[in-house]
Amino acid sequence: MKALVPVKRVIDYNVKPRVKADGSGVDLSNVKMSMNPFDEIAVEEAIRLKEAGKVEEIIAVSVGPAKAQETLRTALAMGADSAILVETDEEVEPLAVAKILKAVAAEVEPGLVILGKQAIDDDSNQTGQMLAALMDLPQGTFASKVEVDGDSVSVTREVDGGLETVKLSLPAIVTTDLRLNEPRYASLPNIMKAKKKPLETKTPADYGVDITPRLKTTNVSEPPVRQAGVKVADVDELVAKLKAMGVA
Amino acid sequence: MTMMDTGLDYPELRDSIARLCADFPGSYWRELEDRSGYPTEFVAALTEAGFLGMLVPEEYGGSGLPLRAAAVVLEEINANGCVASQSHAQMYIMGTLLRHGSDAQKAKYLPGIAAGELRLQAFGITEPTTGSDTTSLKTHAERRGDTYVVNGQKVWTSRAEHSDLMLLLARTTPLSEVKKRTEGLSVFLIDIREAQGRGLDIRPIDAMINHNATEVFFDNLEIPADSLVGEEGQGFRYILSGMNAERILVATEAVGDGRWCLKRAVEYANERVVFGKSIGSNQGVQFPLARAHVELESADLLCRKAAALFEAGEDCGSEANIAKLVASEAAFHAADIAMQTHGGFSFAREYEIERKWRETRLYQIAPISTNMVLAYVGQHVLGLGRSY
């Protein structure tokens, strides 16, 4: 079966984001961008499934600006077989991404769509679930373990109380959590090979998807600066302070 | 017009190196230094990922990438807090063999070097009494039938204990018998594994930084005559051709060290609050950091220019030298200001600042000292009189 792996280009997790002076969003000029870490885990999982003989072909897809090609090349260098860029400079909300992915999936016909549970830029945590609903497919979200067996997949999920395992019939949608695996880095020969792998460029219009935003961001602001704590000499003073603050 | 990328070039290489380096934190390098150890695991990871063979042509199993790509890899290794100098030579020493070796030598050694199975990362040039005046070196090799017999001593030969092969520059015709001082020197490729205990002795030097430097002694070491690289007596020319590549790579590597130091200093300056505000908002702290950035940007551009000329096959002697000088000073200034910014904490080894400070000092001395660069610029670029 084929695995479709959607990846998003986001601000690098090591970069401290800075909010634009007008509060319209995060300043992305001259900032290092990388593949969303959860998507990297998804790519890694797809590669492991391929190495285990459960998946034959991995197609990476990204919705975003031309520069997202770099992100797709990273996926190809890790081990994806081909890539599709749905190019747009507009801001694309999870629902629009899910609609585009549905259209891509209709062409690719994957047995498994595996993607990050959320992107670290907007933390929406919606795309996978919306895609499952739009495609009317079973979903296994926040996966910490994925086991494909015949025409089903067992997904161990990280839930509040512990771990929950669900068995889904394929095709299915899986979203990855942090502990699913540790993604590999691309070796130089694979980086070289990735340059020759097919990367197709499309537009949202090619798939007939209207990406007009349905939400309006009114303001983005920095989190409040953390205030210095209070030092106490002993437990008695601590308890007294907590009482005074009304928390004990 | 030579094309030069001014953006963050080779982003895919930078990403991969950053990931690789994340597995080797400061504690790894600190512990190595405690025991003067060699970063075997780090070098193995670089080798496995194919980076150390990246300059070897594809026909010999390497990736055949441009010099700039290798420079970027070395820059990123240092910019991510790791240490490039203990493995960089495996990338470029083979250049002498590639350009001047026989087909048989290339076929015999390059595939192993590309795969990392064969380590060629020691180069014996400097001697206790011979530094920048290379042509005065005393180590000599005498032809006897099917062999050469080598006698002499080298010093500051890095990584000789961690290399299978070694390039050696030795005199084959006495200085008194040559017309020009630059003649009569030859390059040999020595198999350290076979030579050790048979006239080759390697002793580590306890040094300020952990570059695995050694002294190498040759006492009637017999090596096969086919160890000679290229023609006898032409060795100095062969060495010179590799030096520009080395300077460009080391200069870019220095930029990486400077970037790491500056990044750490800026983080600290933003976090550290004294008298109610971050120390970085004081101009006395901020301006030296800004200046360090300016210097690193200048060095970066010079490195790119030198690499672009090198790739285009043009003469890049002055550009490689200038890049090395500017980068060596930019890196040390960044390290020094990182130390000043961190104040007392810079002396705590776990901050890694003092280690980088010691390591970045070297660039002004090796692989060529600042004065030798200035002498080159004065004489060859400005047309002033020769001072040496």
Contact of B238 with chain A, judged by CB distance below 8 Å, is answered with: no
- Cβ contacts (< 8 Å) between A36 and chain B: which residues? none
Contacting B with CB below 8 Å, chain A residues are 32, 34, 70, 73-74, 77, 183, 185-189, 191-192, 194
The yes-or-no verdict on residue A245 having pLDDT over 90 is no
Which are the contacts of B142, defined by CB distance < 8 A and separation ≥ 6? B148, B149, B151, B172
From B11, B20, B63, residue closest to A185, measured CB to CB: B20
Check the CA dihedral B15-B16-B21-B22 and report its sign: positive
Q: Above 90 in pLDDT, residue A225?
A: no
Going by their DSSP bridges, the two strands A57-64 and B185-191 should be labelled as unpaired
**Which tokens in the block code for residue B152?**
């002499």
Stated as kind and residue range, the H or E segment containing B26 is helix B26-34
Look up residue B161 and give its DSSP letter: G
Tokens of B254: 């220095």
Mutation choice for B interface testing from A18, A41, A43, A188 by most B CBs within 10 A: A188
Q: Which two tokens stand for residue A60?
A: 């990476």
Q: Closest Cα of chain B to A122: distance in Å? A: 22
Segment B268-289, tens digit of pLDDT? 999 999 999 999 999 999 999 9
- Contact yes or no for B16 and A191 at CB 8 A: yes
The beta-carbon neighbor of B63 closest among A183, A186, A188 is A188
Instruction: Give the range among A112-116, B156-160, B333-337 with minimum mean pLDDT.
Output: B156-160
Average model confidence (pLDDT) for chain B? 95
Please state the rounded mean pLDDT for residues B5-13: 86
pLDDT of residue A193: 93
pLDDT band for position B264 (50/70/90)?
Answer: very high
Angle, CA of B52, A48 and A75, to the nearest 5°: 60
Asked if the Cβ–Cβ distance from B19 to A185 is below 8 Å, we say: yes
Tell me A183's DSSP state.
P
Report, at the CATH architecture level, how domain B120-236 is classified: Beta Barrel (2.40)
Q: What average pLDDT does the segment A54-63 reach?
A: 98
Q: Where does chain B hold its CATH 1.10.540.10 domain(s)?
A: 11-115
- Going by their DSSP bridges, the two strands A57-64 and A82-87 should be labelled as parallel
Residue whose C-alpha is closest to residue B335's, from B374, B296, B367, B303: B296
Residue A37: burial class (beta carbons within 10 Å; 0-12, 13-18, 19+) = middle
Q: What is the mean pLDDT of residues B349-367?
A: 95
Rounded percentage of chain A residues whose pLDDT exceeds 90: 85
B8 residue type, one letter: L
Tokens 């594809």 locate to B58
What is the 3 state secondary structure string of A92-145?
CCHHHHHHHHHHHHHHHCCCEEEEECCCCCCCCCCHHHHHHHHHCCCEEEEEEE
Res. B104: pLDDT tops 90: yes
In this structure, which topology does domain A2-218 adopt according to CATH? Answer: Rossmann fold (3.40.50)
Q: What percent of chain B has pLDDT over 90?
A: 93
CA end-to-end distance (rounded Å), chain B: 35
The helix/strand/coil state of B168 is: strand
Amino acid B130 reads T
CATH topology (fold) of B11-115: Butyryl-Coa Dehydrogenase, subunit A; domain 1 (1.10.540)
What residues contact residue A147 under an 8 Å CB cut-off, 6+ apart?
A153, A154, A155
Active site residue B246: yes
> pLDDT band at B2, cuts 50/70/90?
low
Q: Does B12 touch chain A (CB under 8 A)?
A: yes
How many angstroms from the chain centroid is the CA of residue B166? 15
Q: Tell me the average pLDDT across A157-165.
A: 91
Q: Domain map of chain A by residue range?
A: 2-218
A13: chain B residues, CB-CB within 8 Å: none
Residue B5's pLDDT is 79
Q: Could you tell me which residues come within 8 angstroms of residue B279 by beta carbon, excluding any fewer than 6 positions away?
A: B269, B272, B273, B285, B341
Domain B239-381: assigned CATH number: 1.20.140.10
For the stretch B295-328, what's the b/e string if a residue is b when 16 or more beta carbons lie within 10 angstroms of its beta carbon? Answer: bbeebbebbbbbbbbbbeeeebbbbbbbbbbbbb
